[in-house]
Structure 1
Amino acid sequence: MIYTDDKIEEILYRENIKIPSFSHRVSAFIIDIFLVVLITWGVYINFLSTSSSDIQTKIYSIQKLILIYFFLELSYEVICLRYLSASIGKMIFGIKVISLLDLDRPVLKTIFQRSTLKVFEEIFGFVLFIFAIDNRFYRGLHDKVSKTLVVSDR
């Protein structure tokens, strides 16, 4: 089924579901990134840092840091959405992710698809998040493809 904005609006009205403000979504996103960056930095400092002054070693070290960040980001998203239906940042602002198919917590396949696309959007420098600003429900590409929606929990 294709979910147009009008169809989504009809579903939301019928089920009395509210869409969170853009500022809450951005704030939750920033909190999540900050948490993953802290975890990444801790892993990097404790296990992977090198004290070499060779430029190639430093470049390799930065590549490892970036790879670890994206792996941890994907793991964080999948685990939080699977067991809590929201990441820590989303829980702070009272928002959660639901599937448009059944208006409940998404299944694991959908969670993994959404999280992978979200991480790839981050890899490309957050450029693809611009499409969320233009959408009535602030749905990014990862939400559109995976047929999910971020809604208010309160």
Structure 2
Amino acid sequence: MATIELKTLSNGKYQQPTRLFINNEFIEGVDKKSFKVINPATEKVICSVAKATEKDVDVAVAAARKAFKGEWRKVTPEARGKLLVKLSELMEANLDQLAAIESLDNGKAISMAKGDVAAMVSCLRYYSSWSDKIEGKTIDTFTYTL
């Protein structure tokens, strides 16, 4: 993890994970490659983060397939929707921090970054309401109106 200064936060410090998040844990990439994240406003290095290679994508896809065939498959659509709601609530509760990170990462004004995070919260809430409505089933009907 890297300690990053976020001047818009009250404590000013944030611990940024810098590894790949695969199979519910932060891991170093297979090839142990990394790249520098540059602050576009100052052109200074913010931190170095793990760089995903094709091998890492293969590891992530295998982990996703395993999860899909395992316990995740048994999670009901309603429960999945509740998880999306929980994620949206966590994002909303941490909106200032997420916006500060987004602003630092891409040089966007903090007010615009807050709008982006708020839009993501809304998007997650929207899709959470669909999780128990789309089940891959269709009813063949033919309707004719005079």
The interval holding the TM-score normalised by the smaller chain is under 0.3
Greater strand percent: which structure?
2
Structure index of larger Rg: 2
- Taking structure 2 as the reference length, what is the TM-score of the superposition? 0.25
Higher helix share: 1
Give the alignment's TM-score, normalised by structure 1: 0.24
